Amino acid sequence: MHIHTTRIGRRTALLGLAATATFGRTTLALAGAPTDRRLVVIVLRGALDGMAAVVPYGDPALAGLRGEILPAAPGQPDGMLDLGGFYGLHPALPNLHAMYRANEALIVHAVAANYRVRSHFEAQDYLESGTDHRMISGWLNRTVAALPSPATERPVGEALAVGLSVPLLLRGPADVANWAPHGFAQPAPDLYAAIAALNRHDPVTGPAIRQGLRARGYSDSVMAADAQPKDTFTFPALARFAGRMLRAGDGPRIAALELGGWDTHTAQANRLRGPLKQLDDGLAALKAALGPAWSQTAVLAMTEFGRTARMNGTKGTDHGTGTVAFLAGGAVAGGRVEANWPGLGPGQLFENRDLGPTTDLRAVAKGVLAGHLGLDAAALNRIFPGSEAVDGLRGQIRT
């Protein structure tokens, strides 16, 4: 049997994760690609309130909409981290602020994708599909497929998702295996082989078991060598793990991470701190783990939609429209907030409730894929169907 003899098996010096039995749904997926550039996409599930993460404190209408849930002014104890006089970063984001000051973080504000639904579930599907309807493949998988064929023997589409399922963002024609720390004792290889054989003709269980064994061949050989404490399955730990994988010369090049906890209908000021800190610590862990490869890295963090500009009746916010997208990485031409600010005054809110969307999220993503991975307009329009009229933003990536 050849189940454990896989090509990815060679690379396992990168991995080191210990078993835990309480792993949830997917949080990290990785894909190989014929490039030295690294791309990390973070899906912030649950609708991040862009105006809480990047507060437009210079807008005179802001305090009237949500005074009670605003962080203190820049310079005050636990105050916002200033971004040049109009915007302030939430105080739980110091690492992102340091990246911003080092010109490695670019914030795009008042951004929204091209759908206008306010359902999390539809919107996340659309966000990952890269269009205004649900497709069976995600835009990041199509990105992998659009990259030129490798000159070397590195297999195309070799990908690994960490967790129990593959997010739609990375589903598609390029094969993605997945891996999660396993909590149950494993049977002997010959029983695995017999089980795989018994399932080989089943269209669902057959390929799943085959790919799963392949992915484990990839990861298990180093588990004993570099085990980590069992409680490390936090977002920063997965980001660090992603960074180590991406750093290696022959490692994967594309990673997708997820982070939830953004659906702050109540007590937002308290409830946002935790996920923001996770995001911030994760970005720092990713940067540290990437080491010198950080200079070739771009990170895009995006969410399905924003939240209402006005605080609701329970000191939270409801589903809205415009929000922020974050770009970070050594390859990012950062140090600024890019926004065509729509204003928050009377008549300026979208449908009299939400931050107006003035930048198309697809323009942000297309700009990154063009600038960072060198994809041309035709490829970008295949990756984001129906986006012909939307040009990628220029100048997001260092040249």
Partner 1 sequence: MALVRFGLGRRGGEPLPADPAAWLLDQLRQPDPTRFDDPPTTAAGLSALREDRMTRPPNLESRSGESRSRALFKREATRHLANAIVTPAPFRERLVWFWTNHFTVSAKRGACAPVAAAFVEEAIRPHVTGRFGDMLLAAMRHPAMLLYLDNVGSVGPDSAAGQKNHRGLNENLARECLELHTVSPLAGYTQSDVTAFANILTGWSIDLQADPPGFRYRPFAREPGVQTLLHRPFPPGEAGGVAALAFLANHPATHRFLATKLVRHFVADDPPPDAVRVIEGVLRDTGGNLGAASAALVTLDAARAPGTKLRTPMEYVVASIRTLDVPPAQIPNLTGILAALGQPLWGAPAPNGWPDRAADWAGPEAMLQRVDWASGFASRIGGRDVEEIATNALGPLLRPETRDAIRQAGSRRDAAALLLTSPEFQRR
Q: Is 386 in the site for partner 1 (CB under 8 A)?
A: no
Question: Which member of 84, 101, 119, 133 binds partner 1 (CB under 8 A)?
Answer: 119
d(CA 148, CA 254): 15
Q: How far is CA 372 from CA 105, 251, 344, in A?
A: 15, 18, 33
Binding span for partner 1 by CB under 8 A among 9-17, 58-66, 116-124, 371-379: 116-124
Question: Which member of 260, 335, 343, 385 binds partner 1 (CB under 8 A)?
Answer: 260
Question: Which member of 73, 191, 227, 378 binds partner 1 (CB under 8 A)?
Answer: 191
Binding span for partner 1 by CB under 8 A among 78-86, 214-222, 238-246, 369-377: 214-222
250, two tokens:
């022959």
Task: For strands 88-89 and 81-82, give the pairing.
Answer: antiparallel
Nearer to partner 1, 59 or 318 (CB): 318
d(CA 155, CA 87): 45
Nearer to partner 1, 140 or 368 (CB): 140
Q: Is 208 in the site for partner 1 (CB under 8 A)?
A: yes
Binding span for partner 1 by CB under 8 A among 7-15, 22-30, 97-105, 337-345: 22-30
Question: Which member of 150, 155, 187, 189 binds partner 1 (CB under 8 A)?
Answer: 187
Contact yes or no for 365/332 (Cβ under 8 A): no
Q: How far is the CB of 276 from partner 1 (least distance, A)?
A: 16
Q: Is 209 in the site for partner 1 (CB under 8 A)?
A: yes
Q: Is 307 in the site for partner 1 (CB under 8 A)?
A: no
Task: For strands 336-338 and 105-112, give the pairing.
Answer: parallel
Q: Is 195 in the site for partner 1 (CB under 8 A)?
A: yes
Q: Is 399 in the site for partner 1 (CB under 8 A)?
A: no
Nearer to partner 1, 202 or 250 (CB): 202
Q: Is 217 in the site for partner 1 (CB under 8 A)?
A: no
300, two tokens:
């895009």
Q: How far is CA 337 from CA 69, 113, 175, 387, in A?
A: 22, 18, 36, 24
Task: For strands 28-31 and 254-259, give the pairing.
Answer: antiparallel
Q: Is 24 in the site for partner 1 (CB under 8 A)?
A: yes
Question: Which member of 53, 83, 161, 259 binds partner 1 (CB under 8 A)?
Answer: 161
Nearer to partner 1, 165 or 340 (CB): 165
Q: How far is CA 206 from CA 91, 96, 118, 210, 211, in A?
A: 49, 43, 37, 6, 9
Interface with partner 1 by CB under 8 A: which residues? 21-26, 46, 117-122, 161, 163-166, 177-180, 182-187, 190-192, 194-195, 197-199, 201-202, 204-216, 260, 265-266, 312-314, 316, 318-319, 351, 353
